[in-house]
């Protein structure tokens, strides 16, 4: 049966980068992928058109889709909305929560051609291949109570960092299984020297470990992990952590690969339905200028083919095409350096398309 893919361009550079990824998706359809594409509004675009960052019609289409491709949401235009539930980011969080997309995979892989693009020394990053497994539907992002209220004559803001054992266990299993398929090393990142919720996190990871005897489990505090990521990132294979730590560490890991414009992601639920998006945001500072790097979004399409559409060969073909384009010296501004040729967002997308056709 034909697969359903929902495309949600969103805001800022979102429409520019998803347009390039859709070109590749269409090329995959020409190459035999049996899929239908549909588009809908989310984020600020959803709010402007329908008064809500996650319109009901968009949520219904998302639930019915096999896979979702999302650009990015948010921007200064909506940052002052008083009603926090109407902010663009709530649209994204609502999709993740409603579809139960608890397993977020963020692969920080350095393409060898980009060793010079990283702000770190080539010898520190060359050969880098880390998979960050981030819990995505719990933790401090969703814990109750939360709010801003008046207490003793002043306002206080508060959030709740909470994880149930069952939530820790299911993300732990995703991470252990990922480690089994890769380098068999799993580092669980927490703050168990201070926070009870992560004492429980560490306990659950330790309890699961004997079920995966081929995986070596280690633990690290998040502050040290941030430091180790820039000191000696190749010590990591799979990293598992909670929602907020994973958000922060994955942006840091992105820079190891040359640019946040290179980091794709998959967000999966228990039945492998997935949302695929670059890890970066809507980049208002460069929106509308043809400067955005579309490769993270294009590589997110490869993840979609691998994890939700059962097409690993097409996925590998996209990844090879990206490698070829980098071999040709083509670079968007964020990964350009002397000796390479700077191209626009759409020129990069077209180059990947041409390389895909030959791959
Ligand atoms: P950002 O990721 O949008 O931008 C950070 C920096 O990285 C900027 O200088 C930007 O130009 C650059 N950058 C990002 N993507 C790029 C790309 N593809 N090519 C080249 N350069 C790129 O983060 P921010 O500035 O903190 O946030 C901007 C908005 O995006 C906010 O409203 C935020 O809430 C939202 N946001 C959305 C998502 C998402 O939709 N998944 C993720 C992060 C941030
Ligand atoms: C990300 C983003 C989101 C997050 C925001 C926009 C809600 O930063 O996907 O990394 O914090 O999860
Ligand atoms: Mn983020």
Span 183-205, pLDDT tens digits: 999 999 999 999 999 999 999 99
Atom 11 in ligand 2: which residue has the minimum CA distance?
Answer: 247
Give residue limits of the domains in the chain: 1-102+269-359, 121-263
What pLDDT is attached to residue 316? 98
Whether the predicted pLDDT of 139 surpasses 90: yes
> 299, 323 in Cβ contact below 8 A?
no
Report residue 359's pLDDT band, with 50, 70 and 90 as the boundaries.
confident
* Catalytic residue, candidates 111, 191, 237, 276: 191
Residue 240 CB contacts under 8 Å (≥ 6 apart), including other chains:
133, 135, 171, 172, 174, 175, 186, 187, 188, 189, 205
What's the topology of domain 1-102+269-359?
A: Isopropylmalate Dehydrogenase (3.40.718)
Does ligand 2 come within 6 angstroms of the Cβ of 92?
A: yes
Q: Residue 21 corresponds to which tokens in the numbers above?
A: 């990824």
Q: Tell me whether residue 141 is one of the annotated catalytic residues.
A: yes
Pick the CATH number of 121-263 from 3.40.1160.10, 3.40.50.970, 3.40.109.10, 3.40.718.10: 3.40.718.10
- In Å, how far are 221, 268, 342 from 199, measured between CA atoms? 11, 25, 48
- Closest residue by Cα to atom 5, ligand 1, is 283
Domains 1-102+269-359 and 121-263 share a fold: yes
What's the 3-state SS for 296-314?
A: HHHHHHHHHHHHCCCCHHH
pLDDT per residue over 246-268, tens digit each? 999 999 999 999 999 999 999 99
φ, ψ of residue 38 to 5 degrees: the values are -135, 150
| Interface predicted TM-score of the whole assembly (ipTM), two decimals | 0.98
Q: Residue 348 contacts by C-beta under 8 Å, 6 or more apart in sequence?
A: 20, 293, 294, 295, 325, 330, 332
C-alpha separations of 248 from 225, 254, 309 in Å: 11, 10, 29
What's the CA-to-centroid distance between 213 and ligand 3, angstroms? 32
For residue 1, what pLDDT band results from cuts at 50, 70 and 90?
confident
Task: Identify whether 191 is a catalytic site residue.
Answer: yes
Residue position matching structure tokens 């505090």: 221
The yes-or-no verdict on residue 303 having pLDDT over 90 is yes
pTM metric for this prediction: 0.97
- Which residue among 20, 281, 286, 333 has the greatest number of ligand 1 atoms within 8 angstroms of its CB, and so is best to mutate? 281
């Amino acid at each position: 049966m034909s697969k359903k893919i929902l495309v949600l361009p969103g805001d800022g550079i979102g429409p520019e980068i998803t347009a390039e990824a859709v070109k590749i998706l269409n090329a995959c359809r020409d190459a035999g992928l049996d899929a239908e594409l549909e588009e809908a509004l989310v984020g600020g675009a959803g709010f402007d058109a329908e008064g809500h960052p996650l319109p009901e019609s968009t949520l219904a289409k998302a639930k019915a889709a096999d896979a979702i491709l999302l650009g990015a949401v948010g921007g200064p235009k909506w940052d002052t909305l008083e009603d926090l539930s109407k902010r663009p980011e709530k649209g994204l969080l609502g999709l993740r929560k409603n579809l139960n997309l608890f397993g977020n995979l963020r692969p920080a892989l350095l393409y060898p051609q980009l060793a010079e693009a990283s702000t770190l020394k080539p010898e520190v990053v060359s050969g880098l291949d880390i998979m960050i497994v981030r819990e995505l539907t719990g933790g401090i992002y969703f814990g109750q109570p939360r709010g801003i209220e008046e207490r003793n004559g002043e306002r206080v803001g508060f959030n709740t960092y909470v994880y149930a054992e069952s939530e820790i266990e299911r993300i732990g299993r995703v991470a252990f299984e990922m480690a089994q398929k890769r380098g068999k090393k799993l580092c669980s990142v927490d703050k168990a020297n201070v926070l009870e919720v992560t004492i429980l996190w560490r306990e659950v990871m330790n309890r699961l470990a004997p079920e995966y005897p081929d995986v070596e489990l280690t633990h690290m505090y998040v502050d040290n992990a941030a430091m180790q990521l820039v000191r000696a990132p190749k010590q990591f294979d799979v990293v598992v952590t909670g929602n907020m730590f994973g958000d922060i560490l994955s942006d840091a890991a992105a820079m190891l690969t040359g640019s946040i414009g290179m980091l794709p992601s998959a967000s999966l639920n228990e039945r492998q339905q997935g949302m695929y998006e670059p890890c970066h945001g809507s980049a208002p500072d460069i929106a509308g200028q043809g400067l955005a790097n579309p490769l993270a979004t294009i590589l997110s399409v490869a993840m979609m083919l691998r994890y939700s559409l059962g097409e690993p060969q097409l996925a590998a073909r996209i990844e090879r095409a990206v490698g070829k384009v980098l071999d040709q010296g083509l670079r968007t501004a964020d990964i350009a350096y002397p000796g390479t040729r700077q191209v626009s967002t759409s020129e990069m997308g077209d180059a990947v398309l041409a390389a895909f056709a030959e791959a």
